[in-house]
Amino acid sequence: MADMKSVPGDAYLSLAQSYGQTLYGALRGADTARSFAVPPGLDFNVSSRDKSGESSEEQSGEDEDSAEPGRDNEGKVPGRKVREQRSLRLSINARERRRMHDLNDALDGLRSVIPYAHSPSVRKLSKIATLLLAKNYILMQAQALEEMRRLVTYLNQGQTLTTSLAPFGQSSVYPYTGTTAAVTSEKCTAFPGTTSSLCKHCTDKP
DNA sequence: TAGGCCATCTGGTCCT
DNA sequence: AGGACCAGATGGCCTA
């Protein structure tokens, strides 16, 4: 929570812009549809009520009335306050639901850009796996970028590779060992279709 | 059947 | 006051 609050305004804006692209996006696969499906047991509060809007909320208010037959001095509709509270609660619930759907849309967007097998036969990444994989992917990209920078610097120092070039990272002239290129071909065991260098399970192995 | 994952509800807190 | 965010609780679904 503190982390969220500490995000600089500009960063938050840029995040929000990309976030808005996925907001209410039309791309909702089968998995997403499953995620949005309302559990049968929650139908009372969610699906039927949200679809019919306010009228259904009033119906729940009437339920409250029957349970609470008291009448105030002003002759107001019995349980009106209860009904208002119920209505407020339902609107808060709907807002929270929408927020979580937006969060899931963002996670889907994240899944779509990190390298793992996106075929239907492969199980969708869990939320935690998505975040961990994304973090490792970012770290790996940063490492690769740094390595490329060092290579460019090295080449700019006047060294010419006159001899036949060995595959990247295995050159006898280039002093830095290519870790990323070598590792990325290995497959992860925890997340099928993913390279092991992205997976904490694999990278943590001794 | 236990455990993992998920969606939803709910009450609390903070911010505008 | 209303909205956003968060965390805990709860129950459903799926898989090993």
Q: Which tokens go with A64?
A: 């409250």
Is the per-residue pLDDT at A190 higher than 80? no
Is the pTM higher than 0.75? The answer reads no
- Distances from the Cα of A170 to the Cαs of A141, A152, A182, in angstroms? 19, 16, 9
Give residue-wise pLDDT tens across range A36-54. Answer: 333 333 333 333 333 333 3
Measured from Cα to the C1' atom, the residue closest to C15 is A123
Cα→Cα distances A122→A65, A117, A125, A179, Å? 50, 7, 9, 27
- pLDDT band of residue A118 (cuts 50, 70, 90) is confident
pLDDT digits (tens, 9 = 90+) for A124-160: 888 888 998 899 999 999 999 999 999 999 998 876 6
Residue nearest to nucleotide B15 (CA to C1'): A5
Helix (H, G, I), strand (E, B) or coil at A135: helix
Q: Which residue type is seen at A177?
A: T
The token pair that represents A32 in the structure block: 């997403």
Residue A85 CA to residue A167 CA, distance in Å, equals 69
Structure tokens at A65: 């009335």
Give distance CA A5 / C1' B16 (Å).
14
How many angstroms separate the CA of A19 from the C1' of C5? 16
